[in-house]
Each structure stands twice: as structure tokens, then as C-alpha cells.
Structure 1
Amino acid sequence: MKHSFCDDWEFTHHWTEAFGKGLPVPKQQAVRLPHTCREVPLHYASPADYEMVCGYRKRFRVPPVQAAPRLFLRFDGAAHQAVVRVNGRVAGQHRGGYTGFAVEITDLVDREGENLLTVQLDTREDPAIPPFGFVIDYLTYGGLYREVWLEATAESRLTDLFVYTPTLQEAVVQWTAELTPAAVAVRIRLETADGTLLAEQTAQAAEAGKMQFSVPDAQPWDTEHPVLHHAVAELLNAAGQPIDRKQVTFGFRTAEFRADGFYLNGIKTFLRGLNRHQSYPYIGYAAPESLQREDARILQEELHCTAVRTSHYPQSPYFLDECDRRGLLVFTELPGWQHIGDAAWKDAACAMLQEMILQNRNHPSIILWGVRINESVDDDAFYTRTNQIAHQLDPSRATSGVRYLEKSHLLEDVYAYNDFSHNGVTPGAKPKKDVTPDMGKALLISECNGHMYPTKPFDDGPHRQEHALRHVRVQNAAYASGEHAGCFGWCMFDYQTHKDFGSGDRICYHGVLDSFRNPKLAAAVYASQGDADPVLAVSSSMDIGDNPAGQLGTTYVFSNAQQVRLYKNDVFVTTLRQSEWTALPHPPFVMDDTIGELLETQEHFSPAKAAAVRDCLLAAGKYGLAGLPLAYKVKFGWCMLHYKMTFEDGVALYGKYVGNWGSEATRWRFDAVQDGTVVRSVTLCPSAKLHLEVKVSRTTLREQDTYDMAAVRVRILDENGTPAPYAQFPVQFAVEGSAALVGPQTAVAEGGMTGTYLRTVGTAGEALLTVSAPQTQPVVLRFTIEKEDAVWN
């Protein structure tokens, strides 16, 4: 049984002996978990803002749990070194902020009176433990940033339960236990998610055991139908009554990496994904369950990814749970970034790896263990050891390790390579034979793009287009090779970093989303590869002032529709052709012809005359008259002679159909067509009529084990629903009722986008959030807050 220990904490930025004794100290704060030791600004944040030796304390009474006399505290995440004391006595210590840990407090508590729990937490970057020791390209924040639980068990207790499935109809169940003579047997049941029994076995109690099950009626877990099952283990006494119980969730699925790629349940499956940090504006790592699950939803529903890499450390169990529930495949890895320390440092890394695997190995979404320090050099002795740990603890999954090195020592099962070779001109990815030393093992692109082409939401249109196209080229190359198991773009969203990296404001603008999870253009590259919802995004605003010499150049349209039709002032122009990147499930469309059929339908030219004149006009737009190749100059002259056209005729046609200079702005419309039906439409035309688009992750918030939060994403759009990237306006947030704002009341829209967060405050009721900005009408959102008391479960 477990009970939430997230409420009623006191916090101090400076640990003192007085605080540890429960005495009042200056500036102590009442806080709830998850908690960040200090909120940081969005721009120009510094590690000094959150590096400290801080303190948490909580007074509690032991609930009446006579049938479960042993008591444990479980911390899901404490960044980065914790000393836990109960009534002044040390209950345990833990080094490492990315894995959970438990300490037993059975003999330290007063079962009749009040107890004092304290946590002395060092959030500084200690070079003795991973990922620290050298520079790191992300901020590591600090605090009790995940949940804490009080757990009660019998004297005999199950300490671990692990299920893996060698085939889609077989399950192997392993368990470990601490036993007293009261426990005489262990019973294992396999059930569907609704509790229907599929199989059951009972064996004599032992400190460790293993059972094999045949389950011919099991439904498989996959990306389309992520069917989950439960394994329930019970220790039984002599009368056959349960004295301890443990339940885990798993799925019947096989995950195999072969030389030519990845196979899920025997079916070749390309891993199209993004890398994810676990950070959020202002609160760092301290996001509750709902926000963790929201990121998994965005990856699957909005970005249509099939996979995610949790760079560069294990992430929230709630995020992984949601990946299980959604069928989102996960590559997770031990903490680290380039640096390998001394022998003690390596011991700590191995301990973190073991914790990561033991805590997460029942998640069916996890298909690959990262057992190397990200982008580190070869260290055969160290990595032989990490591979052995992974294969011993989990015989069902492959191992990998992310490197930037070509043909480094391959001790893992999969060669994961950060392929940053594409620079906009070079091929999208390096061939397998140039990268891996073993062609018999799988190759995976673990990162691409990112720092090669940082892109801010407010960069100009051609820059944003090139950012998107770089993701297109690399993903297409990985698909086309037939030799890549998948490709993880860098990265899901912009993130804060140290002064040694990123832009001058200490943000890495590497994401396809901004920090608040608003989409940049590159997000449409990933979104358009899915089939679930119609996607249509145009890479240009079609404004002549955004392009050199007023020429629109080549524009790309990202869509999963069968066709995209172009209209100019509501007159059909052409059906866009498909781009060269045909290995993608849905290649982008190309708009390099803004004339199309207009010379025939509007000027009544014959098809032959229209084709010849169109070629000349488009060439003039592409090269300019001064730079026009000789072949087109000749063709221009031929058209004038053959069709009796004057130079002035050509200039007029050019201004009307190509230049659009000095005339009323054009209204462009793009229609996505599926099976003959328009499923989505985008209109582009200059507009000064702006409005706010405000999207929230949820409007019903639930106070359960702790507070709840809603993510609020804000974009400024024009009257046609098109993003207004130059609307760098101040956005005001005002809250009334049973909720509080997280972050400042005023934020600046960057590239026409910003966001905030709303947090519950412990009471049921309603809350109103008003979002306002210049030149727009305010948006008022209503939230309902429900409250449930935390209970044993």
C-alpha cells in the first residue's frame, strides 16, 4: 500500500541544523511536491539560480496500518544528492537526480506521536556523480521535483516483479522477496486491464523465483493497439490468504533490432521520433503528472511521432506510463553528457543504470536501453560492464549507446549515431557502411539537425523554411536507405542551457516546438507524416516583403493529403507537384509555379503559348532579367516574334502573375484534397486583424495526491488563422479563483507565440484565466477544480 506524501512540506533555500531539528528559520516556505528549489526566468537563467544546499521537512503521523507494519519512503526524483532523516536519524542517502529510491523508516518512527521527516538536498553540480564533471548542454535544476510516497508492507514483502514476453503468447515472470516464516507461497496472476484472469500459477515461497506462462489468447501491444495487461503477485500465508501484493503493467510484444532495422512483433517499424528533455519554463523539472502525460500526447497526437528518446537521462514514470498507454516507443538512457569520470564516477553511473532498468523494465513502450554516456569516447571496460548489467537485468531488450564517433567500438546491440553531417547541401545522412563497424547490427540516428541550424520562432521566413527542410532531408534519407532503424530529430522543444551553449539568452533554439510547446514550421514536417488527422502547413507567408527582390521563390507545403491545390484570388492555379523526398510516408509538396493555368483561363492563351510564356515569366522571377540564362533570353525573343508580343506585354504579364509589385496584395489559398474532398484549407493574405488562439491542456483540474496544472499555449493569429510571427506583443495573464499563475503576469510573444501555466491551490472550485494582448480581444477561460482526498492504494 502507498500513500501520497506530496503535501504539507516546509522548504528553505539554506539547510541549517535548526531547520533539521524542526525549529523555525527565516524565510521558510510552505510548499507542495513536485517542487523546484527556485523558479527561473525564461531567458538568461543561470545555474546559480538553483544551485544550493536546501532543505525540505514534513511533520506526519503514522496511519493505522497494523496489517502492514514495515514503512518505507519512496522518492521518485530528488535532484541531485539527498540525505533523508526521520526524527533526526539518517534513514538513507541517495546520489543522482534522475532515478527514484526508497528508504525504510520502520524503526525510526514514533507510531503514536508526531514525526519529523527532513531532506537535506544538494542541488549543485558535483563532479563526482553523473552527469556532472564537465560542461553539460542543458540545465539540471534542483528540488524534490517528483512525487514522494509513504509505503506500508507486511514483514514478508515482494521487492520486485518483472514480466517480459519472449513471444506474443508467452510471458516470463520473475520476482524477488524478503521472507519470514509466515510466507509459504507465491501466487502469480496475469490479467487483462479490466481484471479478467488469463493465467495463474502458485509456487513455494522463495527469495527469488521465475515462472513461465503460455497465454494463447493474449492480445498484442503495438503502436496502433497498445493493449495493456497486469501481472499480480501475492505472498500467501499457510491459510492461503494474501499478506503482501504487488502489481505491474506490461504488454505482450516483441522488440527486435536486426541488421536492416527494427521489428515490433515481427513487423518492420521505422522509428520516427524526436528527443525530449523533461524541462519546462519557470519550473524546470518540477511538473506534475498531467503535464508529463501531456508531452506524450503532443508527441503522438500533434507531431505524429512513433518514438521518443528521453535524452539524456531517465524521465518521469508518468511520461513512460502515457507512452505505454499510447503505443509511443521509447529509447531511454542512463544520465550523462560526453564526460566519463574516474572509477568511483563509473560505479555511480552503473548504479544509476541498474536503478533505471529495475524501475522501468516493465514498460512495454521501452524498446532500447542506452548504456553509454551520451556522446562519450570509447571505454571498453566500462561499457562491457554496462552492457552486462543491462542484459543480466533484462534479457528481453537490446542495448545501445549514443555516440558522435564513426566506427567506434560496438559493444552494444545497436549502433546509435548522432548524424550531424547534413548542412543543407550535403546528403541527409551518412550511409551505414561509413558509420558502423558492424554491418550485421542495426543503425539508428539518435540525433540530427539541432545545433546545425538553430531556429527561433521569430526568425525570417526563409530561415524557418530551411529549418523544416533540413528535418525533411534527414528523415527522408533515413527512410530511403533501408538500413536505418529510425531517426530521432533534435529535438522536441527549445530548452534552457549553460552559458557555454545555446544563444546569448542561454536557450537552445533547437526544437520543432518552442519552450511552451507551440509549433514552429518544422513541427509540420513530423505532423504531416501521420495519417490520423489532416495536416496542411505552408512554408511561406507569401508576403513579397519577406523575400529578396519580392520574389516568392520555391515554397513547400507539408501535408498528408493526396493532393494540394493552389488558388490565386480564388481562381485555380495548379495542383502542386510532389517533392523529391518520396521515401517519406507523405512527401512535402512543391510550389514553384504561381502561374499554372492562369494564362489559359484568364488571358485565353492557347496551351502552347501559355506554356512558353509561363516558362519565360517563371525564369524571370527566379533569375531576374539581368541574370537570365541565354536559353531563356532566346525563348523570350522567340515568344515576342512568334506571338507578336511587345516588351511591354511581357512586363505587364510579369507584374500581374509573378512580381505582384504595386498592385493589391494577392489572396492565396491552398486546399488539401483527400479522395476528391477538401479536408483542410489555408488562406494567406496580409492582414492586420489579429486574434488570440489559446489552447489549454485541460480545463478540469484535479486535486488528488497533489496539485494539478494546466499548460496554456498562446498564439497570435490573423483573420485567416495564420500565425503572425511579427506580433511581438506583451501578453497579459490574470487569474481569479481557486488557481494560481506560474511564472510572470506579462510575457512577450516571441514569433507571435508564448504561454504560461495554471496551478491548483488545494481547494475545489472554479478559476478564470484572462489572456489579453494589444490589437486583440481578450480570451477568458474557465477552469473547474475538483478535489479528492489522498488515500491508501
Structure 2
Amino acid sequence: MEHYDWNEGWLFTPTFDPALVRPECPELSLTPVRLPHTVKPLPYNYCNENDYQRLCGYRREFFAPKEWLGRTVLLTFGAVAHDATVFCNGRRMFHHGCGYTAFTVDLTGALRLGQKNVVAVRCDSREDLNIPPFGGQLDALTYGGIYRAVSLDIKEPAYLRDVFIEAKAEGDFRIYTATVGETVGCTLQAEIRSPAGSRAVYSGELSLPITGTLNNVHPWSLEHPTLYTLTVRLIRPGTGGLPDRVLDEKTVRFGFRTVQFVAGGLYLNGQRVELRGLDRHQSYPYQGYAMPDSIQRLDAQLLKKELGCNAVRTCYAPPSPAFLDACDELGLLVFPEMPGWQHIGDEVWQAQALQNCREMVCQYRSHPSIFLWGARISGSPDNEAFYKRTNEAIHRLDPTRPTAGSRSTRKSQLLEDVYAYNDYSYAGRGAGCENRAAVTPDTRKGYLISEFGGQNFPAKPFDDEPHRLVQALHHAAVLNDSIAQPGVAGSFGWCMTDYNTHREFGSGDRICYHGVMDLFRNPKLSAAVYASQKTPRAPSDIVLEVSSAMTLGDLPGGAAAACWVFTNAESVRLYRGNDFVAEFTPDRRGRFAALPH
């Protein structure tokens, strides 16, 4: 078993030429690139989405040693936006029609051992493809390229394709495996390792799940995200006095925890959790999707530690595995969605969407941070036959988690376990959110607000002070009222950051200024609304953000209006120079009485 990172040594051409796939192509002009890579860097604003919509190509040469004879050579792509065809030595090996899930190509049959070999990728990032998320008008750019990591694995002919563990808070677990190749006579060995280093080993048969109970486990929770490690080994018993042989092993991290979503809200390990989150786009300035794992992890850090969120919805698509790894470690709940926005296409489109849904669940289901699966295209109309298939597929592949689907209509068909509603009803006065009973067709099921804010009151980082304050108070009002209303599990504000968009949306400069942070992850005033809701456990956790800089030139008429302080401190003291003026405490009977702080 050998594993190699394959992010170096690639060559790129912005225009695909069939000669790219041949072992020799000296006539092509190719540019050396490192993954992750975007097909076209864009300006910060006033960008043109036509620049990245192209049919382009990648190529990598490598030597395949003779020692690989009789082994299986697997090439895994983390994500290629959006339609990828992989060739090896001129031979077409694999096609993948989703820009947000990983795929693995078996190169074994096309390799030339002891010689130079060539892998080429035909990458299509045009938005007229008949695959999700395309087909309608998109409110965000989709970019292109091999924008997640690539790896090469050398395995035996028989190997483990997949490992999944269901682990409950009480310590009960079930381990499922899927294998490839000739495995007659082989057995499985599962080893669970605790954070303290203690180990428990279990044996099992290939055709059955390995079940058991681990005593005295520490459940995964938001405050204590305890992670265990599972290593499953595929073993061929020795004969004629020879020792047993480990053909393959696969390691995953997981947590013991139980998720229940009922009419009263979300319960994690039997304790109710008030969801307070933001929706996240995985895009960045200039590079689009193509940012390394360290930056993906940084977003999770910002959500949990800087913004004080306990949950995130990865809108319109599954996120980077590195982002999920960080959420597992931090105790940040994740609601991922199948790729798409509003549009449902023809039968070919729907078949690809269903496949995307299966891939999302199979690739991410061991992450304890995931508490809910998005089984609908975000904001799409009802489609009974289609959504019956997506819900059935998810429940079959992962019976431990509920399903939901963000929608923009009241009383739509509820095939999922949770009614997720995009509530844009608040206009600056009155109730911050709609009455749950007026929206969901079944009040016996769970309910959450999957979007709010955003388009109702966007704010640029350079807008004047009153404008930025109104956006912040808008978020505070909806957060408050979603907490105050019984049966609402929580809410997700739209959205974490600004993002580049098509000309039909945004502010005319190809940016949607809906975020509580800008594209560079600099906080706006509205970010302090979320940050101030976290409970301080140390002096460094105290948030103190004053809405006004008291600079007369920023104030209409040069006159200061109401000044707000967003804080999780017990009180705030105001001084003029060294002179004490007054001490202020939260009004526990006022407009924001339901907020923790």
C-alpha cells in the first residue's frame, strides 16, 4: 500500500486539444501549474464569467515502475469543475459529471510498466452543461478547473473501497465495508482507537457489518468534539505456515453521537441545540474555488471561533473534505446540500443529480459534524418522483441522519424529515420570521430557517455607518425571533461572506454584498451580531463592537443617532476621557430579549 500526493507536476492548456492525451505532444504549448488550480483567475469585481467557461486540459507525465506489476493503481480527484474525462496513455478511462464530489480512476489496465506514462484530463466548465447546478440562472459563479487535491494509491488487486461507521452516543456501533477484487477467504479486522490512545480490536466477515459496544466513550458534542479513529484491515489468512497478510487498510475519524430532529428542535446526544449558523459559499477572490486545504480549514475556524456560530449550511454543494475535518475537530454542525440551485432539469439531469446525492453521502457520512443531509435542490419547486428518489437514496446509504431541503415556498410537499425554509419576510419592522405553523405542512416534523437576511438588506464594507448598522440589526431581529418562537430549531443567516455573481444578481459590479464578511473574510458590523452570542469562557472571548466611530463626517447632519454595542459582556461602561458617564446592561424585556447576549 503506497500513497502519493499528486498536486505537483501538472501542465495546463486553456484550450483542450485531442493531442493532449497522446504520450507525446511536443506541438502543444503547456503551462506548468500546481493544484488546486483555477482555469482563469478573475478580477475582484467587474469580472466576466465567460472567462472561465471553457473546454480546457490538464496533463501529467509520470514513471510507472515494474514493481507495480500485479498491483492496482488508483488516481483520485477531490473535485474537477465541472465535467471531467480522464485519459491514460491516450485511452479514455473515466467520465465524471459533477464539480463537487470526488471520483477515483483505475489506471491499472492502461499503464506501461517501466516506462513513462501520461494522464490527461479534459475539463469542461461551461455553464450550458446538462448537469447540476446548470440549466437555470445561477446567483453565484461556478468557476472551473481541478480545484481540489489529487492523490495516487498503489494497492493489491483486492482492496477496501469504502468504510462507514454508525456510532451512537452510548457506545454502540456498526461498521460497514465495501471491497473490490477477489476476497474469498479474507477477513476483516477493525481497530478503534480513543484520543487517549487505548485500543479495541474487533473481527468480522466481509458480508456482514461489524457490530459492538465500546464502554465509557466520550460523545462528540459542540463543546467537546471528541474524535475516535477507526482502522479497518482486509486480511488474507496465511497458509502452509505463512503469516496472515494485510491486503489493505483504511482509516477514518468519527465520533460517538446521536442526532434526533423532532418537532421541538434538534437534539444532540439527548440535549437540545439551538442552531445559530450562517450559509457558506466556498468561493474566494481571484481564485474562485481553487484554494488549499489550509484556507478551507480557516473558514471553519472563523465560523466557530470568530463568528460564534455552532452550525453552517454549505449552500448549493458539498464542501471540501478539509473543511469538514476542521468542523469535526471544532464542534461545528454542518448541513451539506446536493449540488444545484432552483432549477430541476430533464431525466438525464435528474439521474446525474441523484448520482451526485449518492456520492455526497458515501464520501462524507463518517463525519460526526454532519447532522442533516440536503435532499432537495436549494430553492427548487416540488417534484415528487425526483425527491422520493433522493430521500430514499440518502436514508438507504445513511439511516442515522435526517434529511431536509431548503425551499422558498410555504406548505410545499414535505418528503424530508425536516422542513427547511428560506424566510425573507422581515422588512425592518414587525416579526423577524414567519409563524412556523403558517409555513410547514406538518408541524409534527422538525423545522428550521435555512436562509434569512442577505438580499433583504445587503451592505458593502464601505457603506456609511447607518447602512451597516441597519444590516446588523436586521440579522439580530431574525436571530432573536427564531429563538423566541417554539418549534424553530434555529436559523442560518445569508450569508457568511460576499461572493462573485452573475450580472443578473448582486450590485452591478458582479459582487453579492450579502455577507457578514467581505470576500477576503474581513468582518462587517453584522458579524459582531453573531460573534457576540458566544458564551465567554475566558477574557479573550469577550466581544465588544461599537456601532459608531462617533466621527461627525460619517453621520447624516453631523448628528449622532442611537449607538449600539454588540457584546457578550455583562455590562458596558461609557467614559468621556477619564470621566465615567454611565453603565449599560442588556434589556432583558426589550426587542432582543431572546438573544443569549
Separation of aligned partners in 2, 1:180 and 1:259: 48
Aligned position for 1:561: 569
Q: Give 5+ residue unaligned stretches, structure 2.
A: 239-243
Separation of aligned partners in 2, 1:436 and 1:551: 45
Work out whether 1:344 is the aligned partner of 2:348: yes
Q: 1:481 aligns with which of 467, 481, 485?
A: 485
Q: Which secondary structure does the structure 2 equivalent of 1:320 belong to? A: helix
Contact 1:257 1:442 in 2 (8 A): yes
Query: 1:126 deviation in Å?
Result: 3.0
Query: 1:68 deviation in Å?
Result: 7.3
Separation of aligned partners in 1, 2:171 and 2:508: 55
Q: Give CA deviations for 1:40-72 in whole Å, capped at 9, x if unaligned.
A: 000111111111100100000125755970011
Letter in 2 for 1:356: M
Q: Which secondary structure does the structure 2 equivalent of 1:522 belong to? A: helix
Q: Could you tell me the TM-score, scaled by structure 2's length?
A: 0.95
Work out whether 1:263 is the aligned partner of 2:267: yes
Which is bigger in relative contact order (C-alpha 8 A, separation at least 6)?
2
Aligned position for 1:572: 580
Separation of aligned partners in 2, 1:85 and 1:567: 69
Letter in 2 for 1:275: D
Q: Give CA deviations for 1:148-185 in whole Å, capped at 9, x if unaligned.
A: 11112111111111011244311111111124256521
CA root-mean-square deviation: 1.4
Separation of aligned partners in 1, 2:331 and 2:185: 37
In terms of mean alpha carbon deviation, does 162-171 or 300-309 score higher? 162-171
Letter in 1 for 2:120: T
Separation of aligned partners in 1, 2:13 and 2:112: 25
Query: 1:213 deviation in Å?
Result: 1.2
Aligned position for 2:322: 318
Separation of aligned partners in 1, 2:437 and 2:246: 57
How has the CA–CA distance of structure 1 residues 63 and 267 changed in structure 2, closer, same or farther, with 3 Å as cutoff?
farther
Contact 2:65 2:115 in 1 (8 A): no
Separation of aligned partners in 2, 1:525 and 1:54: 43
Aligned position for 1:225: 224
Letter in 2 for 1:161: V
Where does 1:779-790 land on structure 2 (aligned, <5 Å)? none
In terms of mean alpha carbon deviation, does 386-395 or 62-71 score higher? 62-71
Q: Give 5+ residue unaligned stretches, structure 1.
A: 587-793
Separation of aligned partners in 2, 1:505 and 1:471: 24
Give structure 1 regions of 4+ aligned residues with deviation exceeding 4 angstroms. 63-68
How has the CA–CA distance of structure 1 residues 67 and 323 changed in structure 2, closer, same or farther, with 3 Å as cutoff?
farther
Where does 1:372-451 land on structure 2 (aligned, <5 Å)? 372-451=376-455
Separation of aligned partners in 1, 2:96 and 2:181: 25
Separation of aligned partners in 1, 2:183 and 2:543: 63
Aligned position for 1:145: 147
Q: Give CA deviations for 1:175-229 in whole Å, capped at 9, x if unaligned.
A: 111242565211112212464213x22123x3x4312111112111111111111
Where does 1:699-718 land on structure 2 (aligned, <5 Å)? none
Query: 1:552 deviation in Å?
Result: 1.4
Larger radius of gyration: 1
Where does 1:88-237 land on structure 2 (aligned, <5 Å)? 88-180=90-182, 183-193=185-195, 195-198=197-200, 200-204=201-205, 206=206, 208-237=207-236
Separation of aligned partners in 2, 1:181 and 1:289: 35
Separation of aligned partners in 2, 1:126 and 1:154: 40
Query: 1:127 deviation in Å?
Result: 4.1
Contact 2:375 2:394 in 1 (8 A): yes
Q: Give CA deviations for 1:576-605 in whole Å, capped at 9, x if unaligned.
A: 24242011110xxxxxxxxxxxxxxxxxxx
Letter in 1 for 2:214: V
Where does 1:496-511 land on structure 2 (aligned, <5 Å)? 496-511=500-515
Contact 1:182 1:238 in 2 (8 A): no
Aligned position for 1:6: 7
Q: Give CA deviations for 1:379-398 in whole Å, capped at 9, x if unaligned.
A: 11111111000000000000
Work out whether 1:583 is the aligned partner of 2:594: yes
Q: Which secondary structure does the structure 2 equivalent of 1:459 belong to? A: coil
Q: Which secondary structure does the structure 2 equivalent of 1:367 belong to? A: coil
Query: 1:426 deviation in Å?
Result: 2.8
Q: Give CA deviations for 1:547-594 in whole Å, capped at 9, x if unaligned.
A: 3333312111000000011112331111124242011110xxxxxxxx
Q: Could you tell me the TM-score, scaled by structure 1's length?
A: 0.72
How has the CA–CA distance of structure 1 residues 181 and 145 changed in structure 2, closer, same or farther, with 3 Å as cutoff?
closer
Letter in 2 for 1:494: D
Aligned position for 2:369: 365
In terms of mean alpha carbon deviation, does 519-528 or 481-490 score higher? 481-490
Separation of aligned partners in 1, 2:572 and 2:70: 65
* Identical-residue share of aligned pairs (%): 46
Q: Which secondary structure does the structure 2 equivalent of 1:555 belong to? A: coil
Separation of aligned partners in 1, 2:45 and 2:553: 30
Query: 1:543 deviation in Å?
Result: 2.4
Aligned position for 2:550: 542
Separation of aligned partners in 2, 1:171 and 1:516: 42
Work out whether 1:51 is the aligned partner of 2:42: no
